[in-house]
Chain A
Amino acid sequence: MRKSIGDKIIDWIIVFIMLLIIIVMLYPLWNTLITSFNEARDSIKGSLYLWPRKWTLFNYQSIFKTDKIFKAFMVSVSRTVITTILNVLLSGLLAYVLSFKDFVFRKFLTVFMVMTMYINAGLIPTYFLYRSLGLIDNFLVYILPGMVGAFNVIVIRTYINSLPPSLVESAKIDGATEMRTYFSIIFPLCLPVLATVALWVAVGSWNSWFDSFIYAPKQELSTLQYEMMKILASSMQTGVRQPDYLASSNQTRNMVTPNSLRAAMTMVATVPILVVYPFLQKYFVTVNIGSVKE
């Protein structure tokens, strides 16, 4: 079909709208990026649009020199890595168990698990449970509640069921235990879906701040996101005291501002996501559609 002139005009109008959308999507991040590389005192003058005026790495240096932020960064990294590994291994294992169509407790366990996606006792009962389990102000509060995800199990199980059953059977005949079959046969075969789940879990864990806020208010357990939350809150409340590392240290008082520091922290928190993003994108269409069908 040849395009008429009218059609061509429509094409360019749509391209124009899309370019506007791209700018709206990207510019806030770009602006943060250049602020993070610009000298803090210079940034206050404003009119920083496309490129840093006075290049500096000082904002980034001061993040990693500030003990609290560096520690928070390490907590974020450890919680993300541990949660991701555990969640993938355990969700995969449960998915493997539930993939047996003749498993006697298959139906019961599936319903029991799927129900957990819908029932929610609410904030306060959950808090009291964690308290009686000794999870408050405990690093494990980042790990234990997110060890297995019902939705992840369903996604992986669907994938396992699409594999040829003969693979599992042949392993069984050789006398392998369930654990052995899972780790040596199913796990390697499921790597694509497990990678997807891993990225999902990692992004979720990396991005969360509410659990630090409610369950682990102790400073040593603060995460990068929660530190950003504190700086954001203080920069929004004009006249309210800033986090002490901004207010107290004389050396840095004039060199960093909450805004510059936050810009640098935003980039530190965003870059890992942007790095895994291309891998995420490869798979998420199928998972997204699957979630609606479930």
Chain B
Amino acid sequence: MKTEALKPNSEFLKKARKQRGLILISIPFFIYFFIFSYLPLWGLTMAFQNYKPQKSFFEQEWVGFKHFENLFTDPDFYRIMRNTLGMSIINLVLGFVTAIAFALLLNELTGPFIRFKKVVQTISYMPHFLSWIIVCGLVSNVLAMDGGILNELLLALGLIKEKIHFMGKPEYFWWIVGFTNVWKSMGWNSIIYLAAITSIDPALYEAAAIDGYGRFGRMIHVTLPGIKSTIIVLLILNAGWILNAGFEIQYILGTNGLVLDVSETIDIFVLKRGFGRSGGFAFGTAAGMFKTVVSAVILLLCNKIAGWVGEDRLV
């Protein structure tokens, strides 16, 4: 009996002994991931405590879901969620429409325009690699009151009578964030669609041409349906990140204090409350945990849906 129970085990040991070099290398990595990714999870207990940094873990006072109740009844909570969801939806819709349209148009550049297409692609991917600080600096230059190029352009074209203080008007803020995101990632996001387009059967285009479809018709009736499954899967997957409306651009462009009402997202809320007030650590942790848990649920759901849809469409 004993030897039999040990048998698979000893085989494992034999293999492990042979691979002791690999195991030896793995151990530091295991410890590294444990410390930097799993250990901080322990800190989530703060969300259920009346956390005081100077006290040890065993001296903390447990308060159950008090911080979560405070969060849901917080006067700012509704505003924060509205901003987060509002900007997320704008980013999602604008981001998708522009990236797809851009990919469709790029795809039409063929023959003598192929080198031009390469140039456009190279330039359009570039902003993706710039930091948000740089991008926000550029945005605030372009939209500035004195010398901002957009104001001067609109004035010169006679579209406006006097300069607009874009950065100070709450009604513009979400759109500024949305279009800045488009500027930064439209080219980058189009890569995946361009790749999907290359897998469309060229015979379909010829057939459509014989059927009398023009350039535009082929774009709408061949190219677009050809990448439909990619679009749907990506849309669902991206919808999973709905609570990640962004942090950096809203934080940086919000520093002028004029648009805080519409700029603050849930990440900024966590930062400001967590570090801002005495005793805010526990509340901030609770708010962050709320975001993580809800996000995880939405993300899992969306991944599942994308899986079903993806299989469906690919068959």
User: Which A residues contact B (CB, under 8 angstroms)?
Assistant: 1, 3, 6-7, 10-11, 14-15, 17-18, 21-22, 24-29, 31-32, 35, 43-44, 46-49, 90, 93-94, 97, 100, 102-105, 109, 112-113, 115-116, 118-126, 128-129, 133, 144-145, 147-148, 177-179, 203, 206-210, 214, 225, 228-229, 232-233, 235-238, 259, 262, 266, 269-270, 273-274, 277, 280-281, 284-285, 288-289, 292
Give CA–CA (A112, B53) in the complex, Å. 30
Residues of B within 8 A of A11 (CB): 108-109, 113
Question: What 10 new A-B contacts, CB under 8 Å, besides A124-B288, A178-B21?
Answer: A10-B215, A22-B119, A28-B149, A31-B142, A94-B26, A125-B41, A207-B132, A207-B133, A228-B134, A285-B195
- Closest A residue by C-beta to B104: A14
Question: Do residues B37 and A25 form an inter-chain contact, with CB atoms below 8 A?
Answer: no
Give CA–CA (A163, B147) in the complex, Å. 56
* Complex interface: stretch among B27-35, B70-78, B87-95, B220-228: B27-35
Question: Do residues B22 and A26 form an inter-chain contact, with CB atoms below 8 A?
Answer: no
B contacts with A, residue count (CB < 8 A): 90
The reply to whether the CB of B19 lies closer than 8 angstroms to some CB of chain A is yes
Partner of A232, one of B42, B140, B209: B140
User: Which B residues contact A (CB, under 8 angstroms)?
Assistant: 12, 15-16, 19, 21-26, 29-30, 32-33, 35-44, 46, 53, 102, 105-106, 108-109, 111, 113, 116, 119-120, 122-127, 129-134, 136-142, 146-147, 149, 152, 167, 183, 187-188, 191-192, 195, 209, 214-216, 234, 248, 252-253, 255-257, 267, 270-271, 274-275, 281, 284-285, 288-289, 291-292, 296
Question: Do residues A121 and B40 form an inter-chain contact, with CB atoms below 8 A?
Answer: yes
- Closest A residue by C-beta to B281: A124
- CB of A164 to closest CB in B, whole Å: 20
Give 11 pairs: A residue, B residue, CB < 8 Å, sorted on A: A22-B123, A25-B187, A28-B149, A97-B29, A109-B30, A112-B30, A120-B292, A121-B40, A121-B43, A122-B270, A236-B253
Partner of B191, one of A90, A225, A288: A288
Question: Do residues A104 and B40 form an inter-chain contact, with CB atoms below 8 A?
Answer: no
Give CA–CA (A139, B134) in the complex, Å. 23
